[in-house]
Structure 1
Amino acid sequence: MPDPEDSANRYVERMGTALADAGLQRLPSRVFAALTVDDDGRMTSAELVAALDVSPASVSGAVQYLSRIGFLHRERERGSRRDVYVVDDDAWLQAMLREEQVYGPMIAALDTALRDLPAGAPARRRLRLMREFLTFVGEEMEGIADRWLARRAELEAEGLD
């Protein structure tokens, strides 16, 4: 039977690499993976430092980044002054639903560019398509979230393991 700690470490490296290959920074990818494989999805900075064999400063930067993009949040450990970093079961959903924070500034930049570019400028078409795509994706997120929540309820009823 495989060693659970060894299996978790392999998962952290594989998922960390997959997320980094998809564009996330390397250490935040590993921190996220470590939190997702942790039994309760909660780890202190010291636990993350030990699990990933990295410096406390590195973990601090990684959790700030992950918090900013909605992949985790910070809580106070009960009866302690230590922070605990928590990943929710629906971390991906929560991150996706932050489209106003993600797409909003991009759409605003595109709106400004479209307003400032003269009619007939070659870049207008490209910028307009980018703006419309981001608006479309933002509008579709609510429907995707609703469908996911219905699917999740089905999975929960089946008994996830």
Structure 2
Amino acid sequence: MTQEATDRREDVLRFVERFALVMRQSGIPPMPARVLAFALADDADRYTAADLQEALGVSAAAVSGAVRFLVQARLLRRDREPGTRSDLYVVDDADLWSPIFAGEVEQLGVWADVVAEGVEAVGADTPGGRRLRESQEFFAYMRGELPRLLEGWRAHREAHRHEW
């Protein structure tokens, strides 16, 4: 490996650790955060578990748990090439983030419904009831607005992706 390639690899790994830390602060577990940050920053678009293990210098068990989390969260997709025995983990860079947030629309409705039950349980005229009612309104509002925002993102992406 040339010195330039070595320096670039070190820069990628430094970025991986910085971005993983930010994701961890948002609630993503440490190893899935590291794997996702690496998959986003590295030039390849598909990885075997062994590729990830070697690149990050971690155990097979750590990678296994991380990719399971990321596949369930729809941040990576599991694939397989014909004639191979290893799963491949793919970054779907056709539009990585909007499908994830689109899945939150339904979840926001569930949260709004459950919080509405809380309003009834504690009473709308209590401090807790007022906080729950505002939470219910927030979730309902976000549920209504998120599809519009995602459509705007898709239009923006289509108009500008040639610039990236």
Shorter-chain TM-score above 0.5 = yes
CA-to-aligned-CA distance 1:58-112 (integer Å, 9 cap, x gap)? 1122122222322222112332121111122222222211114542442232132
TM-score calculated relative to the size of structure 1: 0.85
Letter in 1 for 2:73: I
**Aligned letter for 2:78?**
R
Q: Give unpaired runs (5+ residues) of structure 1.
A: none
Give the Cα separation in 2 of the matches to 1:115 and 1:65.
35
Structure 2: runs of 5+ lacking an equivalent: none
Q: What secondary structure sits across from 2:78 in the alignment?
A: strand
Calculate the aligned-residue CA RMSD, in Å: 2.0
Three-state SS of the structure 1 residue aligned to 2:88 is: strand
Question: Which residue number in structure 2 is paired with residue 147 of structure 1?
Answer: 152
Per mean C-alpha deviation after superposition, the further-off stretch among 147-156 and 126-135 is: 147-156
Contact 1:110 1:131 in 2 (8 A): yes
Match of 1:133 in 2: 138
Report sequence identity in percent: 35
Number of corresponding residues: 159
TM-score, length-scaled by structure 2: 0.84
Please tell me whether the aligned partners of residues 53 and 63 of structure 2 are also in contact (alpha carbons under 8 angstroms): yes
Pair 1:101–1:63, CA change in 2 (3 A) = farther
1:156 has 2:161 as partner: yes
Mapping of residues 1-161 of structure 1, within 5 Å? 1=4, 3-89=7-93, 90-157=95-162, 159-160=163-164
